[in-house]
Structure 1
């Protein structure tokens, strides 16, 4: 009875791990569903800022007051210096106004080019939308407008960028914005990593669910076939654990590498990326829960084997219930009676002779 109650530990751990990996698989599969649990998010609100900065730099006024008052003294020198300072103040205000205009344009730059402000990558889909209240606000929210199935259509985010730029008002391409082969290589790496991760995670969901079913079945199997039930749970939970570890490593290392490359190479064109730390935590918590389930079944199996070896060496295991105990002591009493009868018969024969 005590052992059956303790089986609740791996059942609860397997159930929690199964729910977590299932949510990790379905996150972002439709607009607004667990949008914050993404693998990688690309911020394209400033994409093409290199074109904007060139235009604003060309329109900034150049200083014409440098060295103008050199060589003048007395009242003329003071008057010239005062006029020069006033001119520099006006010039600074003009430059600041141009920068403010540039920032306002940058906030609407993605809409102007015909693309969305962000693209979030999930296991089953790629979602796109705009930031709220705006792209330059600190910690902006997300307004998802559309999600494209990635598992069936592929995870080529750069192809989505390029397509939306070409149908935009300016008919641009990524090459027009300064995309290099290195940036495209980073996106290709992400495409391969995400495909591998999706396959591993789907297998992890299936194995974690199988581990849950095996734990539930052990409630009925252990009283009848204890060794087979324990061994099967050890194997299933171990395989599920290894797959979860593989998926966690792929998403953690892969997303960090891609984000680092995109941020280094995409800064000049206004492209940035962030890794989904919440998603990473999700996967590692699932790993921890499956470790609990595996450790329980391994401990139970090793305890069973120690008990079996003790029985094989001639030391009887403690009786598990009153029925086994009475049977054991009944057999012992019967053997003693037989021994005493044989002893009396031998003694009688010896006296007759």
Structure 2
């Protein structure tokens, strides 16, 4: 039983990581599909009133938009009301000038901080490369799981090396994507807040998204190490115990 669990442990970690990575990749691709598990949220003024009650929830392959409603009068807590989400694109990059309504960018009482558009344009290649790494990671994890299924069907363990290779590729890809997401959270978001100061434009990184992507990374690293041990250091079958000899006389 112990040997069987050790053999299946990499596949178990890969399965959970596969689900988490898919959630990171497809979150926000339609309304009510983990729209609060965003890479970052951008808060913008309404326009003439210059009050920050609009938001844009930016994801890996899309963005959603909506309004903020105060939960109770006088309280600082708000509820999010998502109104619509953009079409899903593999090489997606958020462009605030195209997404924001004209009354914000050309409103009579609001001087538009165009430097924010420049910030997003500068991170276009970074955002798109992150999506590519997530897709590569999903494909690699999928092949690792398929190799395990094939091994179960055929009863052969020779596919363990393929499983290990795909797990390493998946761990590397998701790790790079997670690093990019972390850079966006701790470098890009403060940049937006600095440039949006005075214009009622601010940003906040998604803690739930970072939690999911790094959890997936950790699972894949652990699974890769376990698969490495299974392939190179552990026999899958325990040696049979010698039968006891009958004593003569």
Query: Is the pair's TM-score, using the shorter chain for normalization, greater than 0.5?
Result: yes
Measure how far apart 1:158 and its partner are: 1.8
Report the equivalent of 1:260: 190
- 1:179 and 2:121 are equivalent in the alignment: no
Change (3 A) 1:214 1:137: farther
Task: Please give the TM-score of this superposition, normalised by the length of structure 1.
Answer: 0.60
1:306-352: CA deviation from partner (whole Å, max 9, x where unpaired): x8xxxxxxxxxx98348xx79xxxxxxxxxxxxxxxxxxxxxxxxxx
Change (3 A) 1:131 1:192: same
- 1:297 and 2:227 are equivalent in the alignment: yes
Query: Is the Cα contact below 8 Å between 1:120 and 1:126 reproduced in 2?
Result: yes
Report the equivalent of 1:206: 139
- RMSD value, Cα: 3.1
Give me the whole-angstrom Cα distance separating, in 1, the residues matched to 2:146 and 2:9. Answer: 14
Which of 124, 127, 150 matches 2:61? Answer: 124
- 1:279 and 2:209 are equivalent in the alignment: yes
Give me the whole-angstrom Cα distance separating, in 2, the residues matched to 1:143 and 1:129. Answer: 5
Measure how far apart 1:136 and its partner are: 8.4
Measure how far apart 1:12 and its partner are: 1.5
1:138-162: CA deviation from partner (whole Å, max 9, x where unpaired): 2311101111125268424322255
Query: Is the Cα contact below 8 Å between 2:136 and 2:173 reproduced in 1?
Result: yes
Report the equivalent of 2:37: 37
1:191-217: CA deviation from partner (whole Å, max 9, x where unpaired): 322211111111111111222222333
Unaligned runs of 5+ in 1: 49-104, 111-116, 308-317, 327-353
Unaligned runs of 5+ in 2: 244-249
Which of 227, 234, 239 matches 1:320? Answer: 239
Query: Is the Cα contact below 8 Å between 1:126 and 1:155 reproduced in 2?
Result: no
Query: Is the Cα contact below 8 Å between 1:46 and 1:271 reproduced in 2?
Result: no
1:36-185 equivalences in 2 (<5 Å): 36-45=36-45, 105-107=49-51, 117-133=54-70, 137-149=75-87, 151=89, 154-161=92-99, 164-165=101-102, 168=103, 172=106, 177-180=111-114, 182-185=115-118
Task: Please give the TM-score of this superposition, normalised by the length of structure 2.
Answer: 0.83
Change (3 A) 1:138 1:201: same
For these two proteins, the number of residue pairs brought into alignment is 241
